A and B are shown apart, each in its own frame.
Chain A
């Protein structure tokens, strides 16, 4: 019966906060996807100080969204009472933010290692970059990331940490989240069903995708009849670990 005691104002504020969190979650998703896309070109011939700066900027944006979202969602969950209407929605958001944070942290760790392997401090380091076949630039991706705005109405001043500390900070965040809120994660039901995303299509992307698939399928070189991995006539094993050669 407690929900009847809440005033209309309270219900409205709560709804607004939940919507804010959802928008922030979508924004975080976008930013992390951009971050990953840029991280894949680290160490390749498209790498450069420009790419690294853009990575830094994207990371700062992500950090801002993360910390704000974390704080708000935490307060929402703590003051949540039993039988609240948006309990499911808030819990779902909770699971999503946990997963995105973990995903993002994995990418951060990879980026840190890659930046150590391919330092760009000297001229000759550029020779070590792998020619992976990229030709264009990632400036569009970075622009996309920069377009994402934090949906907070109030501006908060938090210092964004450097890469190593960011990873550690996410660890701390996750630990805190697990300890302070006890929501059983497996009880959350997703809204999306399996295989649904493949059915809904957009018109513009269709022809492009088909030709993309054709491009990727380079014609297969006609194989000779031996189906083994080496030239030994007894080899029928299709792997590289056969002992016959």
Chain B
């Protein structure tokens, strides 16, 4: 039984189906006997059934009346079929409009998809029971599964369902032709609303919504209060001249336009199109030689460099040469604190304090006194964002100073020279099919995580407090 109460806060409104109302208007026009699509009679063994239309007629009518070109008209027609306003008579499982002589018929308005009401499971159970009666237990595999599921779930209603199914099945008094028409209609309706597995359904709209988008919202006190707060906040926002913001946008676009996979095909080939994984392999975080595109991207901004794991590794090598790795180490430690588990937070905070912030610490970072004071005070009661001020300061320091030195350094120039530029793939149709067949799942994420942990352990061991004396001693020894 459906739960019925006004306080039921379940989500039940379907979004994004407002196109259905517009489609209905078009369908009504389409079937107009004088100006609509021309219908013929379908000849079956025993009877003739009127009002049958062909695919090419539909496409032609749509092209003329909606004033679009042929390809779009076909897509539009396919949408009509997929939503269930027209159903195909041949190959009824595939809801596509074929622009040839294949036959279609209009669906009766009772079975039109309506935004407000979903196709109910009770009705589906009755339909399956009817089909069971008619076909004497021979249903499709997915229908059998659904039947069993519904039987288990709606067990208490089962008497009612069987009784209704038997009653509805008894309509033998209708003429043969009408029975065929009705059965075709019902079958088409259920193919749209309960699609067979591994087919796409046009009624797939995601989750139900809590609020009905079509209903007018009641103007209560709460509503007005909400609107007032919203507008007050909107007025208080800081304003930027459009010339400034548009200039920033234009600059961003010119910088990044060659790196957008929608605008420029990515090298060697887009794995989603060609099922070839080389693009992902070449850009993996632990790859030896990065691609030219990534290296170029690192030079755009410090944020890009830090975000790309390969770029960060390169930057780390550079910093090691300069003996100023503590800034980046602190930044990474702060990130770990931000994103880490709540349990480990106090422990991490203490470690960070000992390593980076305490006076005389092994990797002491150079931040101004005010920030240092704030951070140390905050560390008494550590929370996730206690290092935020210090982290921002360090970030700006690295960006303004170290980043530009990095870009001019021999490390970066060497990487630029070594970077590879893969040639674009050019797969033939047969190769594409083969790629599709050879699709394999990628590395188990558990293995990737384990590798990361190993790397971290190695890095932690290596980056222990660098004993300057020992290092200088070893250098002096060699001399």
Partner-contacting stretch, out of B56-64, B107-115, B234-242, B440-448:
B107-115
Interchain CB contact under 8 A, A240 and B96: yes
Considering the complex, give the chain B residue whose CB is closest to the CB of A135.
B177
Q: Hey, which chain A residues are within 8 Å of B106, CB to CB?
A: 130-133
Interchain CB contact under 8 A, B164 and A32: yes
Taking CB atoms and an 8 Å cut-off, the chain B residues in 261-320 that contact chain A are 273
B469 interface hit (Cβ, 8 Å): no
B166 interface hit (Cβ, 8 Å): yes
- Please indicate which of the listed interface residues B50, B106, B157 has the most CB atoms of chain A within 10 Å of its own CB: B157
A14 interface hit (Cβ, 8 Å): no
Interchain CB contact under 8 A, A199 and B137: yes
B79 interface hit (Cβ, 8 Å): yes
Q: Hey, which chain A residues are within 8 Å of B137, CB to CB?
A: 195, 198-199
Q: Hey, which chain A residues are within 8 Å of B103, CB to CB?
A: 218
23 CB contacts below 8 A, A to B, read A33-B171, A37-B171, A100-B160, A103-B164, A106-B120, A106-B123, A110-B110, A130-B107, A132-B106, A132-B107, A133-B52, A136-B174, A190-B157, A190-B158, A190-B159, A195-B132, A198-B136, A211-B45, A211-B46, A220-B90, A221-B91, A221-B101, A230-B74
B454 interface hit (Cβ, 8 Å): no
Q: Hey, which chain B residues are within 8 Å of A136, CB to CB?
A: 174-175, 177-178
Considering the complex, give the chain A residue whose CB is closest to the CB of B158.
A190
- The CA-CA distance from A133 to B180 in the complex, in Å, is 10
Interchain CB contact under 8 A, B183 and A240: no
Partner-contacting stretch, out of B24-32, B206-214, B471-479:
B24-32
Interface size on A, residues (CB 8 A): 85
Partner-contacting stretch, out of A40-48, A71-79, A149-157:
A40-48
Tell me the B residues contacting A by CB distance below 8 Å: 1-2, 4, 24, 27-28, 31-34, 39, 42, 44-46, 49-52, 71, 74-75, 78-79, 82, 89-91, 94, 96, 98, 100-103, 105-111, 114, 117, 120, 122-123, 129, 132-137, 147-148, 151, 155-168, 170-185, 187, 199-200, 202, 273, 429, 432, 436
Interchain CB contact under 8 A, A197 and B129: yes
Interchain CB contact under 8 A, B158 and A241: no
Considering the complex, give the chain A residue whose CB is closest to the CB of B3.
A178
Partner-contacting stretch, out of A1-9, A59-67, A90-98, A161-169:
A90-98
The minimal Cβ–Cβ distance linking A43 to chain B, given in whole angstroms, is 3
A83 interface hit (Cβ, 8 Å): no
Q: Hey, which chain B residues are within 8 Å of A41, CB to CB?
A: 108, 110
Considering the complex, give the chain B residue whose CB is closest to the CB of A32.
B164
A13 interface hit (Cβ, 8 Å): no
Q: Hey, which chain B residues are within 8 Å of A98, CB to CB?
A: 1
A49 interface hit (Cβ, 8 Å): no
Are A234 and B51 CB-contacts (below 8 A) given A106-B117, A198-B135?
A: no
8 Å CB contact of B156 from A45, A128, A190, A214? A190
Are A127 and B33 CB-contacts (below 8 A) given A44-B108, A110-B117, A133-B49?
A: yes
Top 4 A-B pairs, shortest CB-CB distance:
A43-B109, A239-B200, A33-B167, A198-B132
Taking CB atoms and an 8 Å cut-off, the chain A residues in 181-238 that contact chain B are 185-192, 194-199, 201, 205, 208-209, 211-216, 218-221, 223, 229-230, 233-234, 236-238
Interchain CB contact under 8 A, B109 and A130: yes
User: Known contacts A99-B122, A128-B32; can you find 18 more A-B pairs with CB under 8 A?
Assistant: A29-B167, A40-B185, A45-B51, A96-B160, A110-B117, A132-B108, A133-B51, A135-B50, A135-B177, A136-B178, A190-B155, A190-B159, A191-B159, A195-B147, A218-B44, A230-B75, A239-B199, A240-B79
Are A29 and B96 CB-contacts (below 8 A) given A133-B51, A133-B52?
A: no
The minimal Cβ–Cβ distance linking B438 to chain A, given in whole angstroms, is 15
Taking CB atoms and an 8 Å cut-off, the chain A residues in 14-53 that contact chain B are 26, 29-30, 32-33, 36-37, 39-45
Interchain CB contact under 8 A, B51 and A132: yes
Considering the complex, give the chain A residue whose CB is closest to the CB of B152.
A194
8 Å CB contact of A130 from B28, B42, B44, B49? B28
Considering the complex, give the chain A residue whose CB is closest to the CB of B139.
A198
Interchain CB contact under 8 A, A133 and B105: yes
Interchain CB contact under 8 A, B45 and A198: no
8 Å CB contact of B148 from A29, A109, A113, A194? A194
Interchain CB contact under 8 A, A96 and B4: no
Interchain CB contact under 8 A, A33 and B164: yes
A141 interface hit (Cβ, 8 Å): yes
Q: Hey, which chain A residues are within 8 Å of B34, CB to CB?
A: 127
Q: Hey, which chain A residues are within 8 Å of B122, CB to CB?
A: 99, 102-103
Q: Hey, which chain A residues are within 8 Å of B123, CB to CB?
A: 103, 106
Interchain CB contact under 8 A, B179 and A199: no
- The CA-CA distance from A188 to B160 in the complex, in Å, is 12
Q: Hey, which chain B residues are within 8 Å of A216, CB to CB?
A: 180, 183-184, 187
- The CA-CA distance from A81 to B45 in the complex, in Å, is 60
- Please indicate which of the listed interface residues A198, A199, A241 has the most CB atoms of chain B within 10 Å of its own CB: A198
Are A132 and B90 CB-contacts (below 8 A) given A29-B163, A106-B117, A199-B137?
A: no
Considering the complex, give the chain A residue whose CB is closest to the CB of B175.
A136
Interchain CB contact under 8 A, B147 and A131: no
A245 interface hit (Cβ, 8 Å): yes
- The CA-CA distance from A238 to B49 in the complex, in Å, is 30
Interchain CB contact under 8 A, B157 and A43: no
- The CA-CA distance from A95 to B158 in the complex, in Å, is 10
Q: Hey, which chain B residues are within 8 Å of A130, CB to CB?
A: 27-28, 31, 106-109
